[in-house]
Amino acid sequence: MAFEPDIPPIQVHLCVKGGKEAIAFYEKAFDAVETFEQLADDGVRVLHANLAMFGSEVMLHDEFPEIGADVLSPLSRGGAGMTVNINLKLPGEVDQAVERAVAAGAEITMEPDDVFWGARYGRIRDPFGHVWAFNAPLGNAALGTAAEDRT
């Protein structure tokens, strides 16, 4: 299967209740930029939107239960079924991302901390039920394998 060069091979496509509100939240919390939006025939629900964020793209749409129940928001399903993991470059960016999301209305589900796999990691749940994790490598010194220890 061939892909266009600017289309990533894997993309997140979020289902939410309240598409317009979700777009506004992601713009505030994650500095997302909406690059496309199409409303449904009802003129209220988001049929499809593209959001540029974290150097990639997330797609989003409102629930359409009248079409089928295979894709519903975490709020309708009683919780998220997956975590969207964002890999950042610096450990401090994890704390900043979590703080910004919380200021926009998210809830911390795991405080940022240095974890066993050698990263700074924290997790939030957004107001639409989606779980986002932020991860950044700590570097060799933080893992106890500083260059001077390896010589």
- The pLDDT-based confidence of 143 (bands split at 50, 70, 90) is very low
Query: What does the domain layout of the chain look like in residue ranges?
Result: 1-65, 80-151
Mean pLDDT, all residues of the chain: 90
Q: Rounded to an integer, what distance in angstroms lies between the CA atom of residue 27 and that of residue 89?
A: 21
pLDDT digits (tens, 9 = 90+) for 99-135: 999 999 999 999 999 999 999 999 999 999 999 999 9
Q: Considering the entire predicted model, what is its pTM?
A: 0.87
Q: What's the CATH superfamily of 80-151?
A: 2,3-Dihydroxybiphenyl 1,2-Dioxygenase, domain 1 (3.10.180.10)
% of the chain exceeding 90 in pLDDT: 83
Residue 10's pLDDT is: 85
Q: Give the pair of three-digit tokens for residue 61.
A: 């749409």
Q: Domain 1-65: which topology?
A: 3.30.720
* Residue 51 CB contacts under 8 Å (≥ 6 apart), including other chains: 23, 26, 27, 32, 33, 34, 35, 57, 58, 59, 60
